[in-house]
Structure 1
Amino acid sequence: MGRIVDRLLLFVYSLTIGTLSAAAIVGASGLLTDTSEVYLDLSQPAWLQLAIIIVAAVVFLISLRMFILSIKRDSSAMTSIDQRTEFGDIKISLETIENVSLKAAARVRGTKDLKARIRAIDSGLDITIRAVVDGETSIPEMTAEVQRNVKEYVQDITGIPVSLVSVYVANIVQTQTFKARVE
């Protein structure tokens, strides 16, 4: 409810400021006056009129941007995947799917420091797993196992088809080796 009120206030504010700045541009440029009076109007210096027009134009552009933001649909509004069954509706949050993906990826030996990013696309889920590996396991074999485990586990647990599982190997774990000191 708070977001709707915020958007409504932003809409009204940007519309008001945009109208006022457009009026300032028209007034300072003399577009509404007779053209002969514009050339003979020496009451305001030209630099002041130009400054008013520039400032009003900048304010108008900012208010236009705020207006667009107030009417634009929020792309982060889709925080869940909705499914309809014969018994009713099911909503599964993207955070839940992320945690299920991380649980499946953590089962693979050699993976450390896992992070996941979930995107819902028309053909299913697009899952990206970021991992740090131990460096002792074959990376191609390990990543293929991560992809297989994540896809199967997410599909089994959520019932949502997984179209793509990408694995990004960010680094390998640096093991500390201690050399014996000889005295």
Structure 2
Amino acid sequence: MGLLDRLLLFLFSIGFAALAVVGFLAGLEILIGPREVISGIREFYQDPGLRWAVAGVSLFALVISVRLLAVGLMKKRALDPGVDRETEIGHIRISLKTIESLAVRAARKVRGIRDLTARVRHNGDHSSVGIGMKIIVDGERPIQELSEQLQLTVKEQVEKIAGVGVDQVSVYVAQTIQPDKSRVRVE
């Protein structure tokens, strides 16, 4: 739902709530009694300016109602966005979760990575992606070399398996863990 639709829904809800409160209080004769209601109806029919104002506001409320109804009934887009590909025989959509799992699987093949997470985001045209990797390394290999190998491996694997262009592979090294070395006991 777009910004305009949310604004219309907000205005419509406020107006309808105010009308409901006035109607409720009039029904209980708290705010408006029967005489005021009858007097208001007579004034409405005698004053053409008031009739046009009420007709205009009513038409505006009807247009908003129809718009919000149309937005509510429109087919929702897929919850999991993906990368769209067109082939000779039809349409292919590869979910971002699938690309993310391919990236993680490719990254696990790189020696020196202890733990990792990946995030995939669309680029504007929905035919290519950018991948962000957060890694924990073992500290035995140079981080620059390890990161570059990771970028290359992930890019190649995702492009090869999914057929999706990878514009960027960003690497964030979150932590370095030194390998556990057992202590030598001398007796």
TM-score normalized by the length of structure 1: 0.58
Count of residues in Structure 1 that have an aligned counterpart in Structure 2: 130
Q: Are positions 1:133 and 2:130 aligned together?
A: no
Structure 2 unmatched runs, 5+: 1-5, 22-67
Matches for 1:2-151 after TM superposition, within 5 Å: 14=10, 17-20=13-16, 77=79, 79-122=81-124, 124-151=128-155
Deviating runs (4+, > 2 A) in structure 1? 10-17, 20-24, 74-78, 174-183
- 1:172 is matched by which residue type in structure 2? T
- What secondary structure, in the 3-state scheme, does the structure 1 residue paired with 2:167 have? strand
- What secondary structure, in the 3-state scheme, does the structure 2 residue paired with 1:107 have? coil
- 1:165 is matched by which residue type in structure 2? V
| CA shift for structure 1 position 122 | 2.9
Q: Which protein shows a greater Rg?
A: 2
In structure 2, the CA distance between the partners of 1:11 and 1:77, relative to structure 1 (3 Å rule), is farther
In structure 2, the CA distance between the partners of 1:86 and 1:76, relative to structure 1 (3 Å rule), is closer
- What secondary structure, in the 3-state scheme, does the structure 1 residue paired with 2:106 have? helix
> Aligned equivalents of 2:9 and 2:129: distance in 1?
39
> Aligned equivalents of 2:145 and 2:103: distance in 1?
18
In structure 2, the CA distance between the partners of 1:166 and 1:12, relative to structure 1 (3 Å rule), is closer
- 2:176 is matched by which residue type in structure 1? I
State the match for 2:40 in structure 1: none
> Aligned equivalents of 2:165 and 2:9: distance in 1?
44
| CA shift for structure 1 position 11 | 9.5
Structure 1 unmatched runs, 5+: 1-9, 25-66
1:157 equivalent among 141, 145, 161: 161
> Aligned equivalents of 2:124 and 2:175: distance in 1?
32
> Aligned equivalents of 2:183 and 2:161: distance in 1?
48
- 2:138 is matched by which residue type in structure 1? D
| CA shift for structure 1 position 103 | 1.1
In structure 2, the CA distance between the partners of 1:75 and 1:132, relative to structure 1 (3 Å rule), is farther
- What secondary structure, in the 3-state scheme, does the structure 1 residue paired with 2:132 have? strand
> Aligned equivalents of 1:177 and 1:164: distance in 2?
36
- 1:18 is matched by which residue type in structure 2? I
In structure 2, the CA distance between the partners of 1:159 and 1:180, relative to structure 1 (3 Å rule), is closer
